[in-house]
Amino acid sequence: MDYDAFDAQLLELADSLQGADEATVAAEVARMKALAEQIPDERSRGHALIRAGKLPELISGPKPGTSPQYQRASALVAQVLIDEGSPAERIAHAERAKAEIAALSKQAPLRESMTILRMNSSLVRLIERLRTDGS
């Protein structure tokens, strides 16, 4: 077994375990750790063991942020996505929100900073779609 095959199997397993009980997940973590131990390359084996231990997080996804900056950034994205107006007005609103979200990510706790900044990807896609549809 190599790391790539292990990781592909782990990701597939994470998808299939949505809603599984704790005992099932714990058993699968143990099974995946045993598989990881079979990877010959020491460094890859170490990475695989860490990834196997994170299976519960892979199943549940990241925990939502709790900081005021996270809450504000979430609200900004929601406002922009439901915004009604001309494409130019919506683009301008999205650009302002993007700038504010970038600033919020710098003020946020380190554990939430990148998550907040990634919220801008939704706005970037919206802006691109509005520009494409409007031309």
pLDDT on residue 16: 92
Asked if 90 and 80 touch (Cβ cutoff 8 Å), the reply is: yes
Distance CA 6, CA 125 (A): 32
The ranges assigned to domains in the chain are: 3-60, 68-134
**Continuous H helices in the chain:** 3-16, 22-36, 42-53, 55-60, 68-82, 87-107, 110-118, 120-134
Distance CA 1, CA 110 (A): 36
Q: What angle do CA 29, 31, 35 make, to 5 degrees?
A: 110
pLDDT on residue 58: 85
Nearest by Cα to 91 from 118, 116, 126, 58: 126
pLDDT on residue 18: 87
- Mean pLDDT by runs of 10 across the 135 residues of the chain is 90 90 94 96 94 89 84 95 92 96 95 91 93 79
3-state secondary structure of 18: coil
Asked if 53 and 29 touch (Cβ cutoff 8 Å), the reply is: yes
pLDDT on residue 62: 66
Task: State the first-to-last Cα distance of the chain, in angstroms, to the nearest integer.
Answer: 51
pLDDT on residue 103: 97
pLDDT on residue 64: 77
Q: What's the one-letter identity of residue 98?
A: K
